[in-house]
Amino acid sequence: MKLPADSPLTAAQLLVACLAEQGCDRVFTVPGESFLPVLDALADGDAIDVVTCRQEGGAAFMACADGAMRMQPGVAFVTRGPGATNASIGVHVAMQDSQPMILFIGDVDRTMRDREGFQEMDFAAFFGPICKWASRIDDPARIPEYVARACSTAIAGRPGPVVLALPEDMLHEADIAAAPRPAVVRPAQPPCPDALSALMAMIGDAAAPVAIVGGAGWHEKARTHFTTFAERIGLPVATAFRRQDALPPSSPVYAGNLGYGPNPKLVSRIKEADLVLVVGARLGEATTDGYTLITPDHAGQVLVHVYPDPEELGRVYRTDLAICADPAEFSESAALWDDGSIITFDAGAQAHAEWREWNTPREEALFPLDLARALASARELLPTDSIICNGAGNFSGWWHRYWPYAGFPSQLAPTAGAMGYGIPAAVAAALRFPERCVLAVCGDGDFLMNAQELATAAQHGANLLVIVFDNSAYGTIRMHQEREYPGRVSATRLANPDFAMMGRSYGAWSATARTNADFEEALREAMQHDGLRLIHCLTDIEQLSAGGATISGLRRA
């Protein structure tokens, strides 16, 4: 933002200038009267692009996804009360996914505080448990300090969200004697050489080591160097839940992904490993199948945990060797370390062959629109570095199993399991990478959580493809329901609109697919168009999961 030379500088103008100085080039917002001065300041100049969203949850998801792609804080502005509570879902996802984000909330005047004024909330108390730092800027002269601290907090250690409340009257103050602080950078902490030496000795002594990577602070540098290190010694590498782009799938040591419905052979490999090297991942519930794949005390296994935040090391797991280091710095040091003590393992190639077998869609179609065969068509027709965005639901399992997440970043999916993430994330990705193919993959229940953000995509000219898999049910819950209470269906049936017609109402090119032939034809035609596109896929509720679960099978069991 260009600061005005011949008029008083308001607090709102200073705030926007501070964000620009910190490298913010885009904000996502649902406008509110509580921060009108900020909206006015954003109208000056073109340094910061303003994306107008249709619901605060969508705006927060977009900011979360933008932060994940850049490893710089994604920024959202919302109003107090309903706006803030709607946006809280994005804050929770950013926290559990370890993604840098800053949520600014327009607040009541300072003179009205603690009277429960219109839409007043205690934001520090509300957001404190689900973010790294929640505070309020009462003194406009301290805006540069707060903004710089917010950015630093969001990107340091384990990245995550920050929430700052902005009193409405504070934003109007003028003649502020302050200037933006210089841009902050993420501290690059290398591993201790002694710890690295100990790790290499432990790997050299191991008979069946395995690595699990991806998570906090993981980016292209970490991906490149860890791949080099793992390939040199033949170390099998699995990716944590929804971190499948952390290693190139073409790598001869890539062993597949953990989470829901992993390759049973990979599960066995990790259970039988005598050394587990974890880099960047927290080893959360989904990655470890409820802390059972690797138990907190992991009897008979050596656990080495490399993580950028000391508070996470030893928090849940007994750790044999804890290394507090940035994943990229650790990976580079490991790639350069070669004292000849490690004999190359054959296990990396074996694990990769097992993943290739698991990752290949079967030839036969078991349903008119068989999702495994649909993925075979997607692999043929879509670029392998496409950015795949999805929310929560069993529909995503087919993509996790069969899609090669070849680019970086190429997977935007919440480890927090939030529905409705796919469309907003795809909007953010399409605006950030207009030259790449961006795909939002949705279930029918998932899609309608944030379908209104198709209007945001259309308004801002986002080039993206949406695929909606419609089985007229909350399929994941139906699967659990059939497992626990066979035949007793309650609250999981859905009556859906015509999603193709809905897409056309937003100006999208749309098609409906009832068979695999329909799907392939629609996908082929969609790739001939630009802009917003949507394919409505009508699927059979019988095919419940990529692992082969069916309603009839669960009822028989």
Q: Residue 7 has what pLDDT? A: 58
Task: Quickly state the pLDDT bin for 49 (edges 50, 70, 90).
Answer: very high
pLDDT in the model for residue 188: 86
Write the pLDDT tens digit of every residue in 424-459.
Answer: 999 999 999 999 999 999 999 999 999 999 999 999
In 3D space, the residue among 64, 176, 154 whose CA is nearest the CA of residue 428 turns out to be 64
CA–CA dist 99, 536 (Å, integer) = 31
- Residues 484 and 241: their CA atoms lie apart, in Å, by 25
Residue 388 pLDDT exceeds 80: yes
Report the distance separating Cα 343 and Cα 169, nearest Å.
Answer: 66
For the stretch 316-356, pLDDT in tens is 999 999 999 999 999 999 999 977 778 899 999 999 999 99
313 shares a domain with 340: yes
259 and 206 within one domain: yes
Please check whether residue 48 lies inside any domain of the structure. yes
Per-residue pLDDT averaged across 172-187, rounded? 94
2 in any annotated domain: no
Q: d(Cα 504, Cα 32) in Å, to the nearest integer?
A: 29
Average pLDDT of the residues of the chain: 95
Decide which of 296, 321, 355 is a domain's last residue: 355
Same domain flag for 430 and 468? yes
Q: What is the phi-psi region of residue 268: left when phi exceeds 0, alpha when psi lies from -120 to 50, beta otherwise?
A: alpha
Distance CA 496, CA 472 (A): 6
Looking at the fold, whether 312 and 438 belong to one and the same domain comes out as no
Same domain, 131 and 261: no
Long-range pairs for 548-556 at CB < 8 Å and ≥24 separation?
A: 549/479, 551/478, 551/482, 554/479, 554/482, 554/483, 554/486, 555/482, 555/486, 555/487
User: What would the mean pLDDT of 494-523 be, rounded to a whole number?
Assistant: 98
- Out of 306, 323, 355, pick the residue that ends a domain: 355
Phi, psi of 536 (to 5 degrees): -95, 115
pLDDT at position 406 over 90: yes
In the chain, how many H helices and how many E strands? 21, 18
Alpha-carbon gap, residue 283 to 463, rounded angstroms: 35
Confidence label for 118 from pLDDT (cuts 50, 70 and 90)? confident
Q: Which pLDDT score, from 0 to 100, does residue 217 have?
A: 86
User: Which pLDDT value is given to residue 554?
Assistant: 93
For residue 7, the SS3 value is coil
Mean pLDDT throughout 391-400? Answer: 96
| Average pLDDT, integer, range 93-97 | 97
pLDDT range class, residue 2, cuts 50, 70, 90: low
**Domain check: are 491 and 408 in the same one?**
yes
- Does pLDDT of 471 surpass 80? yes
- Predicted confidence at residue 483, as pLDDT, reads 93
Tell me, yes or no, whether 435 and 531 share the same domain. yes
Confidence (pTM): 0.96
Same domain for 445 and 349 = no
Name the token pair of 234.
């033949």
Q: What is the pLDDT of residue 535?
A: 98
| Structural domain harbouring 64 | 11-172
526 in a structural domain: yes
Helix, strand, coil % in the chain, rounded to nearest 5: 40, 15, 45
Token pair recorded at residue 421: 């993430």
| Pairing of the two strands 49-52 and 26-29 | parallel
Please say which residue of 340, 355, 370 terminates a domain.
355
Task: Judge contact between 142 and 164, C-beta under 8 A.
Answer: no
Q: Is the domain of 40 the same as that of 106?
A: yes
Mean pLDDT, residues 539-557 taken together: 93
Q: How confident is the model at residue 8 (pLDDT cuts 50, 70, 90)?
A: low
Model confidence band, residue 110 (pLDDT cutoffs 50, 70, 90): confident
Q: Does residue 53 fall inside a structural domain?
A: yes
**Number of structural domains, the chain?**
3
CA dist 490 → 319, 418, 482 (Å)? 43, 21, 10
Amino acid at 517: A
Residue 3 has pLDDT above 80, yes or no: no
Which of 57, 3, 62, 56 lies closest to 34 in space, CA to CA? 56
Tell me if 5 is assigned to some domain: no
Residue 57 and residue 441: Cα distance in Å, rounded?
18
By C-alpha distance, which of 471, 478, 474 is closest to 538?
A: 471
- Using the 8-state DSSP alphabet, how is residue 182 labeled? P
Q: Give mean pLDDT, residues 247-252.
A: 97
Q: For residue range 347-372, what is the model confidence (pLDDT) as tens digits?
A: 999 999 999 999 999 999 999 999 99
Q: pLDDT digits over 478-505, tens only? A: 999 999 999 999 999 999 999 999 999 9
Whether the pLDDT of residue 136 is over 90: the answer is: yes
183-193 burial code (b ≥16 CB/10 A, e <16)? ebebeebebee
> pLDDT digit string (tens) for 274-300?
999 999 999 999 999 999 999 999 999
Domain-located, residue 39: yes
Residue 483 lies in a domain: yes
**Which CATH number is 141's domain given?**
3.40.50.970
Is residue 527 over pLDDT 90?
A: yes
* Residue 152 included in any domain: yes
Res 17: pLDDT: 96
The residues near 517 (Cβ < 8 Å, ≥ 6 apart) are none
Q: Are 466 and 496 found together in one domain?
A: yes
User: Residue 506: which pLDDT band, with cuts at 50, 70 and 90?
Assistant: very high
* Encoded tokens for 69: 């792609």
How does pLDDT run across 60-80, given as a tens digit for each residue?
999 999 999 999 999 999 999
Note whether 370 and 308 are same-domain residues: no
One domain, residues 138 and 269: no
Quick check: 162 pLDDT over 80? yes
Of 112, 233, 205, 204, the closest CA to residue 165 belongs to: 112
C-alpha 113/C-alpha 498 separation (Å) is 47
Domain containing 345 — which CATH number?
3.40.50.1220
